[in-house]
Structure 1
Amino acid sequence: MKKVLEIKELKKSFGDRQVVKGITFDIREKEIVGLLGPNGAGKSTVTNMICTILNMDEGSVLFKGKYVKENQEEFKRQLGLVPQDIALFSDLSAYDNVKFFGSLYGLKGNELKESTKEALENVGLWDRKNDYPDSFSGGMKRRLNIACSIVHRPKILILDEPTVGIDPQSRNKILEVTKKLRDEGTSVIYISHYMEEVEAICSRLIIVDEGKIIEEGYKEEIKKKYKEKGLNSLEEIFLYLTGKELRD
């Protein structure tokens, strides 16, 4: 499959502490890649550098063969980011929240209206389009957050723990939407601590710890490799690689 995103030798330090130590990987067309790691492993720092929210000390990011640093505006129009912390306007209806974010990506007129409707339908909230986020459950807010990030039909979507603290129905809907977006041409970086979700939707895995990649490859190949060591699940493999010490 063709590479959509190439991350090369990313490094980042905060003061004397190097938190990302030369991370390299790629994202290909129409795939969901699980970016996994314990708390403090460097996942958020890596994604923030990819999104140009944070400047890298060294390394580069390429989107469709072009350096993001030299083509930031083009890249941002093709990028969707669903942050772990919900980012919504409480004084705007669900419809107006999504419409506002769509306008930031340059959508206008009928295209904006149609894209807003499509995004809300995708996450199962079209019937609540006139309601305000404060009246929503946690799962509904998460789904609305996703709608705001996919309204412009991004080619790259980063989902940072999108199912934290929500009901099984909302979790199932988010997984369904993620797979639908992949099938329609979006490449997804999926960050989660829920191994059953990773098992359900990710084809490749990148496991990081202490700012480095400690394992990567196709999910089934990784499972086969560690089954020979007596490890029968992704969670067992994850704990074997990263340890059982608490990372609070």
Structure 2
Amino acid sequence: MGRQLTTIGFDADDTLWQNEQFFRLTETRFASLLADHASPEAISGHLLEVERRNLQFYGYGIKGFTLSMVETAITLTGGKVPTTVIAEILSAGREMLTHPVEALPHAREALERLSGDYRLVLITKGDLFDQERKLAQSGLGDFFTAVEIVSEKTAATYQTVFSRHGDGAGQSMMVGNSLKSDIVPAIEAGSWGVHVPHELTWALEHSEAPSTSPRFRRVEHLGNLYSLIMEIDNK
């Protein structure tokens, strides 16, 4: 019987390296700038709705987040936000774009163990320049045979990527922390989907786990990924 898997896709942010924690820290800093206008909870709630609305215009990533903070500040202050606050927001966005990359535990070891036997493809969304920067700084780029930075992750996205860089979705697996972006659409495309939970996941990435799917799996961390893949691939 032929191999079950030939290609493994990996998400980047909060799967291979830390990401959401920097958004949370910046959001806390942002709320303090507007403390005279609303509670931290109200500010976060309004910002989330602005981000949701702006995704179709700015896409994912730090630049869109920064613009959404500016818009939120203008709205919550009735258009009277001080220029000093705008400057602080822009500064916070620039700091995020230069923050050192911190690989998550077991990320390098997992890639090292798998790269000799499988085609590894990085499939991530967000700002092109920022994702390229993080991949270069992570030191993990050499493990991947291909890198796809996409605007959205859908079943069609995975079908296209796994056909382009592998043997089709049926012999591929997607590994990531987001059920909504990494797991559900990959399984819909016909791939395996392995959820690696992260303690911080953006609210807009939440989704129900496809627990009834025979191709859904969950591991607590990437250190458990190799044994799971061996179990699947040796059936």
Query: Please, what TM-score do these two structures have when normalized by structure 1?
Result: 0.29
More helix by share: 2
Query: Please, what TM-score do these two structures have when normalized by structure 2?
Result: 0.30
Task: Pick the structure with greater CA Rg.
Answer: 2
More strand by share: 1
